Amino acid sequence: MQVQAAGEQHPSTAPFYVAYGKALLDCARAKGNVLSGMSGAGAGAGGDDGDDADDLTIAWEVLELARVIYSSAAAAGDAEAAQRQAEVHCTIGEVCLESDNMDGAIKEYTAAAEIYSKTLPQTDGAVAEVYYLLGTSQQLGGHHTDAEASFTKAADAVAAAISDYETRAKTASPEDAAKLSSKIADRRGILAEISDKIAETKALASEMELLAKAKAEAKAKAATTSAAVASGRAGFKNATIDFAPPPSRRLSSTASSASSASTNAFGKPSAASTAPVNDLSSLVKRKPAAKPAAGAPVNDLSSLVKRKAKPSAPQAASPPVGSKRPANAAPEDQPKAKK
Q: For each of the chain's 339 residues, which pLDDT tens digit applies?
A: 556 556 677 888 999 999 999 999 999 999 877 655 554 544 444 555 566 678 999 999 999 999 999 999 999 999 999 999 999 999 999 999 999 999 999 999 999 999 999 999 999 999 999 999 999 999 999 999 999 999 999 999 999 999 999 999 999 999 999 999 999 999 999 999 999 999 999 998 888 888 888 888 888 888 788 777 776 666 656 655 555 555 555 555 554 554 454 455 444 555 444 555 555 555 555 555 555 555 555 555 555 555 555 555 555 445 555 545 555 555 554 555 444
Do 72 and 19 fall within a single domain? yes
Do 24 and 96 fall within a single domain? yes
Instruction: List the one residue out of 145, 44, 140, 149 whose CA is nearest residue 99.
Output: 140
Read off the CATH number of the domain in which 184 is found: 1.20.58
Radius of gyration of the chain (CA): 61
What is the reported pTM?
A: 0.61
Its domain, for residue 30, covers 1-39+46-102
Name every residue whose Cβ is closer than 8 Å to that of residue 250 and which is 6 or more positions away in sequence: 244
Is 150 domain-assigned? yes
Is 207 domain-assigned? yes
Q: What is the pLDDT of residue 43?
A: 46
Do 34 and 130 fall within a single domain? no
Is 52 domain-assigned? yes
Q: What is the pLDDT of residue 5?
A: 59
Report how far residue 211's alpha carbon sits from residue 149's, in angstroms, rounded to the nearest whole number. Answer: 21
Do 130 and 193 fall within a single domain? yes
Do 8 and 77 fall within a single domain? yes
Is 3 domain-assigned? yes
Do 98 and 24 fall within a single domain? yes
Name every residue whose Cβ is closer than 8 Å to that of residue 308 and which is 6 or more positions away in sequence: none
Angle in degrees, 0-180, between the axes of helices 174-238 and 144-171, rounded to the nearest 10: 170
Q: What is the pLDDT of residue 201?
A: 93
Count of domains forming the chain: 2
Contact predicate 134/109, CB 8 Å? yes
Q: What is the pLDDT of residue 229?
A: 73
| Residue where one domain finishes, among candidates 212, 239, 254 | 212
Is 80 domain-assigned? yes
Do 98 and 132 fall within a single domain? no
Is 313 domain-assigned? no
Instruction: List the one residue out of 102, 14, 28 whose CA is nearest residue 62.
Output: 14
